[in-house]
Chains A and B, each alone.
Chain A
């Protein structure tokens, strides 16, 4: 089993396979980072604007990760997904709770589950295989790699997207990767050590992984 590609997002910084992704500088100082990256990627997917913070970040990471690693050769039912998160949908839960003071928002309510970000990724990339969302206190490479490995070995998947999505109060810490049985792309062994090495190489190297909360 191999890691075919990795996308990390920390604060306003993005890496692909460990290399910085250069997003053209925004001309507006306080431009919304996620919308700016979306405009740059130009995926023509208006539903992006309706997504919450974790779903938007997962979407962007998915776009960057899978641009050069198309999944079209796989049957959708053989592509799995394992996501981990510390806060899950807490960011949206809090916003929804605040909206109850005036008028509960249906659009917010539908994102008040930690598996929605993964669901948006599944819709976008037609992933119909096994999927799992785990809440863990921190990024846990051993746990993540074990679950991805089991998904590939025991659940009969040919490919599996794994990741850590921590997005709350403007804090961005996203790590998304593609694991496959066949070697392509980055093509390094799928081990907890390799995942941890890539994750740790970026974590804490930038501005605390956060931006000014915009909602």
Chain B
């Protein structure tokens, strides 16, 4: 999950944050890191570029991007499904 945090910081230009500043279960949007809808699009691009994983159903977004842990879980499950 540390790698994923580093990638999120890089992709979203969160230069004021270090990976250790982001809790595994901390909400990414609104009251957590305060990410917005454009950031959500960047996270979708990140998943595709870094992990080759696509978010097929946009309605899954709020669940997948709830926290770093839920993102990591989604990546793991998607890779398992592909294998």
**Contact residues of A with B, CB < 8 Å?**
35, 46, 49-50, 103, 105-107, 110
Contacts and interface: CB of A to CB of B under 8 A. Distances in A.
B34 A107 contact: no
A53 to B, nearest CB: 13
B59 interface: no
Interface of B: 12-16, 34, 38-39, 41-42, 45, 48-49
Contacts of A49: 13-16
Contact of A103 (B14, B39, B45): B45
Counting from the closest, the 9 A-B pairs by CB-CB distance are A106-B41, A49-B15, A49-B13, A50-B13, A46-B16, A106-B38, A107-B42, A110-B38, A103-B45
Nearest to B34: A46
B42 A106 contact: yes
Contacts of A105: 42, 45
B3 to A, nearest CB: 19
A49 B38 CA distance: 14
A106 B39 CA distance: 8
B38 to A, nearest CB: 5
A49 B41 CA distance: 17
Nearest to A35: B15
A106 B15 contact: no
A106 B13 contact: no
25 contacts: A35-B15, A46-B14, A46-B16, A46-B34, A49-B13, A49-B14, A49-B15, A49-B16, A50-B12, A50-B13, A103-B45, A103-B49, A105-B42, A105-B45, A106-B38, A106-B41, A106-B42, A106-B45, A107-B12, A107-B13, A107-B38, A107-B39, A107-B41, A107-B42, A110-B38
Contacts of A35: 15
A106 B41 CA distance: 6
A50 B12 CA distance: 7
B78 to A, nearest CB: 18
B76 to A, nearest CB: 22
B7 to A, nearest CB: 14
Contacts of A46: 14, 16, 34
A107 B14 CA distance: 12
Contacts of B14: 46, 49
Nearest to A39: B16
